[in-house]
A and B are shown apart, each in its own frame.
Chain A
Amino acid sequence: MADCYFIGIGGTGSKCVNNYVYSSAAGLGPDRLWIGMVDQDDANGNVAESRSNIENYQRVRRILRTPGLSDINDKTDLFKTNITTQVGQTSWCPLPGTAPTLKDVFSYDLLNKDLQDTIDCLYHPQEELNLELDEGFRARPSIGAAAILSRVQENDPFWVNIFNAIDSAKAGTEVRIFLVSSIFGGTGASGFPSIARLIRSEMDKRGIRDGVYLGGALMLPYFKFPKPGEDEIKEVAYAESFLEQSRGALDYYHRLFEKEQRKTFDQLYLVGWDPLIELPVFEKGGNLQRNPALLPELFTSLAASRFFMANSVDNGIFHIARNDANAFSWDDFPEINDQQKIVKDNLSQMTRTALAYREIYYPYLVDQWRKVKNESWFRNTLLKQGVDFNNDETSLNFNNLLAYFENYLDWLANMIHFSQNATVQGIDLVDVNMFSQYENSQVTISDKVRDHQLKQFNSLISGVNSSSLAKVFLKMNYSRVPKNRTGIGAFVGALYESCKS
């Protein structure tokens, strides 16, 4: 298995990172994965959410996969991927600091007159050179490209990981790097080709021709949001310009790929959505910019998994289309490396596990465990596996698991609710109404799913008549814990297997 690196660039890139972490939790990722984000808007809500998701993932994975203490075993897909990041720097900000401007990047005031004039020709002196960039490059790839290329340094801890990985290819290790961003907007559109070419040039510098593969997913316009106010329109991305920008960017890529001797990308995936998904709210940046997960982003995860998990990397530019423009179902997902139903199977199983854990089992793993301590499932999957319920850390671990599963359900519900409006017959994947509500352009997870709704648990996943909660409980009671499962991992493993469709 190759060493895998996933880099999300810009706001959309960070959303795709978030998406890939959840996909990895569902077992769709590779065995080992390094994740990083590049975003000028470091305080961006989506970046913060992805960062938090990665930390939570790592915490839960430690709970489930610490051999000797708690182990779900290596045959189980759940939280299979060992996700690592640059410690303390999950995301890299090209221009850190308070309100940096392009003038600061170029040390404009220190340049001689000729260079200042040149820069004035390239960038608008008032609008662009003095634009405060603490909330991103505001849909100006030309600014982003300059800023990113000027700040990527070999000794930056974030990039050291990538460059060391490239070096390791000399020793025969296969390295696969996957970049994700949007083709529109600022940071992503500028960072995607810049970083890709930078990696290629680093390979050339080191004389590496083989062993390092570069893949990428570019998000074409797939959403739109209300036009910003007149006072903001000059300095922010707005949806109407997305198509125009995308056309320009695609033309740029076309010219780039046409003249290059060696392909920058071994695999490139282009993902779009028609018609555009309408987002109800708009924030120009900062911690308030927390756009909901959308279905097209999931395709970047599947593309990444295909790229990472294939035995060999075949060259190409890939596209996919829905079976029916007015509907979306499980059949519209691609297979991953000849595993036809892996997306449906894994996401279904994860969703059922998350909901069953939250609604049925969690209360009996914390406060009410004494009431059920003699029940078979509890004795076999927990007590006999050495889980100590008198230890405060145990309930903390169960709380962490709950938090992760709730976040997962929230992510899924957001993705489906918000993506519905662009598909006439709706998104027919998971009955998210069972555990969430969409009101006033907001998705909320129900505090408690009602009993009559839980009776429909077997039809939670569209197109599958899976086992009911009673059947899941029966399986839990008769589950055999393999010898290499211990601790909380034994319980979660049993639940995960019982929730198989």
Chain B
Amino acid sequence: MRFISSLIIVSIMIALIIIPAYIVAFIDIAFIGRGDALRNIIFYIIDQDPNIPGEERRFMAEDLLIFGIQPLLIYLTSFWSIIFISWIIVTEFLRIDRPNKAFKFMWIWFLFLIVMLVLSGYMTYYFLYSQKDVYQFVGGPQITSIIFLTTILSLILFYLTTLFITSRVNRPTVPLATILMRT
């Protein structure tokens, strides 16, 4: 039961980031930016080089959606799911059998966090910037901001999710969790 509820929490937390990101990227919403998903990408994400003609910018935005954003969202969803399931499994195998033992494994949490942040940032960089299909379509300042945003979101996602899915026994492995969670 504990595992099932953990998996449900993981799904909800990932969905809270991925679904809005998908909606913003693919669906036209009047009150977001220019009110059109493609125009938003052209205006806010694609490199603002004045030498690139408008038609070309449109093709770049369409390619970015298909070859960059879409696989990025799929890969991030898969990667984050794997990270959280691994976290659940690894903490179960710690076999904490006494008080004051779990916090000694806080380094594992930090290790997971680093892997999560680095790989999420790198995936964003690769899919949106460095892969050949969309190579440097996105501007330098823009990709920096997007990677920063992805990293911050990954950090928040990882902290909140591990806060809720870590068993009470292993809770001391998550920084401040024993203070924040009162059950």
Q: Is A379 interfacial (CB-CB < 8 Å)?
A: yes
The CA-CA distance from A472 to B98 in the complex, in Å, is: 9
Most B CB within 10 A of own CB, among A374, A379, A380, A478: A374
Given contacts A473-B169, A477-B168, contact A374 B99 (CB under 8 A): no
In chain B, positions 133-183 with a C-beta closer than 8 Å to chain A are: 167-169, 171-172, 178-179, 181-183
Q: Is A258 interfacial (CB-CB < 8 Å)?
A: no
Q: Which residue of A lies closest to B172 (CB)?
A: A375
Evaluate contact between A374 and B98: CB separation under 8 angstroms.
no
Evaluate contact between A478 and B168: CB separation under 8 angstroms.
yes
In chain A, positions 366-406 with a C-beta closer than 8 Å to chain B are: 368, 371-372, 374-380
In chain A, positions 400-448 with a C-beta closer than 8 Å to chain B are: none
Q: Which residue of B lies closest to A371 (CB)?
A: B100
The CA-CA distance from A469 to B171 in the complex, in Å, is: 17
Evaluate contact between B179 and A374: CB separation under 8 angstroms.
yes
**Shortest CB–CB separation between residue B6 and chain A, in angstroms?**
13
Q: Is B74 interfacial (CB-CB < 8 Å)?
A: no
The interface residues of chain A lying within 8 Å CB-to-CB of B100 are 364, 368, 371-372, 375
The CA-CA distance from A360 to B179 in the complex, in Å, is: 23
Q: Is A474 interfacial (CB-CB < 8 Å)?
A: yes
The CA-CA distance from A377 to B168 in the complex, in Å, is: 8
Given contacts A374-B178, A374-B179, A375-B178, contact A364 B99 (CB under 8 A): yes
Q: Which of A368, A376, A470 contacts B168 (CB 8 A)?
A: A376
Q: Is A454 interfacial (CB-CB < 8 Å)?
A: yes
Q: Is B96 interfacial (CB-CB < 8 Å)?
A: yes
Given contacts A473-B169, A474-B167, A478-B168, contact A375 B96 (CB under 8 A): no
The interface residues of chain B lying within 8 Å CB-to-CB of A360 are 97-99
The CA-CA distance from A368 to B169 in the complex, in Å, is: 18
The interface residues of chain B lying within 8 Å CB-to-CB of A468 are 95, 97
The CA-CA distance from A378 to B98 in the complex, in Å, is: 12
Given contacts A477-B168, A477-B169, contact A376 B98 (CB under 8 A): no
The interface residues of chain B lying within 8 Å CB-to-CB of A375 are 99-100, 168, 171-172, 178
The interface residues of chain A lying within 8 Å CB-to-CB of B181 are 376
**Shortest CB–CB separation between residue B100 and chain A, in angstroms?**
5
> Which label, helix, strand, loop or mixed, suits the secondary structure of the B interface?
loop
Evaluate contact between A470 and B97: CB separation under 8 angstroms.
yes
The CA-CA distance from A235 to B171 in the complex, in Å, is: 67
The interface residues of chain B lying within 8 Å CB-to-CB of A472 are 97
Given contacts A374-B178, A375-B178, A379-B182, contact A469 B98 (CB under 8 A): yes
**Shortest CB–CB separation between residue A469 and chain B, in angstroms?**
4
Q: Is A257 interfacial (CB-CB < 8 Å)?
A: no
**Shortest CB–CB separation between residue A467 and chain B, in angstroms?**
10
Q: Is A361 interfacial (CB-CB < 8 Å)?
A: yes
Q: Which residue of B lies closest to A365 (CB)?
A: B99
Evaluate contact between B99 and A361: CB separation under 8 angstroms.
yes
Q: Which of A371, A374, A454, A474 contacts B169 (CB 8 A)?
A: A474
Chain B, residues 73-98, CB within 8 Å of chain A (1/0): the string is 00000000000000000000001111
The CA-CA distance from A454 to B171 in the complex, in Å, is: 23
The CA-CA distance from A282 to B128 in the complex, in Å, is: 88
The interface residues of chain B lying within 8 Å CB-to-CB of A380 are 183
Interface size class of A (residues with CB under 8 A): 20 to 34
Most B CB within 10 A of own CB, among A468, A472, A478: A478
Q: Which residue of B lies closest to A455 (CB)?
A: B97
The interface residues of chain B lying within 8 Å CB-to-CB of A372 are 99-100
The interface residues of chain B lying within 8 Å CB-to-CB of A368 are 100
Evaluate contact between B99 and A470: CB separation under 8 angstroms.
no
Q: Which residue of A lies closest to B98 (CB)?
A: A360
Q: Which residue of A lies closest to B102 (CB)?
A: A375
The CA-CA distance from A361 to B98 in the complex, in Å, is: 7
In chain A, positions 449-491 with a C-beta closer than 8 Å to chain B are: 454, 468-470, 472-474, 477-478
Evaluate contact between B97 and A477: CB separation under 8 angstroms.
no
Evaluate contact between B172 and A477: CB separation under 8 angstroms.
no
Evaluate contact between B178 and A473: CB separation under 8 angstroms.
no
The CA-CA distance from A378 to B168 in the complex, in Å, is: 11
Chain B, residues 88-117, CB within 8 Å of chain A (1/0): the string is 000000011111100000000000000000
The interface residues of chain B lying within 8 Å CB-to-CB of A454 are 97
Evaluate contact between B167 and A473: CB separation under 8 angstroms.
no
Evaluate contact between A470 and B172: CB separation under 8 angstroms.
no
**Shortest CB–CB separation between residue B90 and chain A, in angstroms?**
14
The interface residues of chain B lying within 8 Å CB-to-CB of A378 are 99
Q: Which residue of A lies closest to B177 (CB)?
A: A374
The CA-CA distance from A86 to B166 in the complex, in Å, is: 54
Chain B, residues 15-59, CB within 8 Å of chain A (1/0): the string is 000000000000000000000000000000000000000000000
The CA-CA distance from A379 to B99 in the complex, in Å, is: 12
Q: Which of A376, A379, A473 contacts B97 (CB 8 A)?
A: A473
Evaluate contact between B98 and A473: CB separation under 8 angstroms.
yes
The CA-CA distance from A473 to B95 in the complex, in Å, is: 9
Evaluate contact between A477 and B95: CB separation under 8 angstroms.
no
Q: Which of B167, B179, B182 contacts A477 (CB 8 A)?
A: B167
The interface residues of chain B lying within 8 Å CB-to-CB of A361 are 98-99
The CA-CA distance from A474 to B99 in the complex, in Å, is: 10
**Shortest CB–CB separation between residue A56 and chain B, in angstroms?**
26
**Shortest CB–CB separation between residue A400 and chain B, in angstroms?**
21
The interface residues of chain A lying within 8 Å CB-to-CB of B179 are 374
Q: Which residue of B lies closest to A471 (CB)?
A: B97
Q: Which residue of B lies closest to A368 (CB)?
A: B100
The interface residues of chain A lying within 8 Å CB-to-CB of B98 are 360-361, 469, 473
The CA-CA distance from A374 to B169 in the complex, in Å, is: 11
The CA-CA distance from A130 to B97 in the complex, in Å, is: 63
The CA-CA distance from A454 to B97 in the complex, in Å, is: 10
In the assembled complex, 11 residue pairs joining A and B whose CB atoms fall closer than 8 Å, in A order, are A368-B100, A372-B99, A372-B100, A375-B99, A376-B169, A376-B181, A376-B183, A378-B99, A468-B97, A469-B97, A473-B169
The 9 lowest CB-CB distance pairs between A and B, nearest first, are: A374-B178, A469-B97, A376-B168, A477-B168, A470-B97, A372-B99, A470-B95, A364-B99, A360-B98
- 14 additional A-B residue pairs with CB within 8 Å, beyond A469-B97, A469-B98: A364-B99, A364-B100, A372-B99, A372-B100, A374-B178, A375-B168, A376-B178, A377-B99, A378-B99, A454-B97, A468-B95, A473-B99, A474-B167, A477-B169
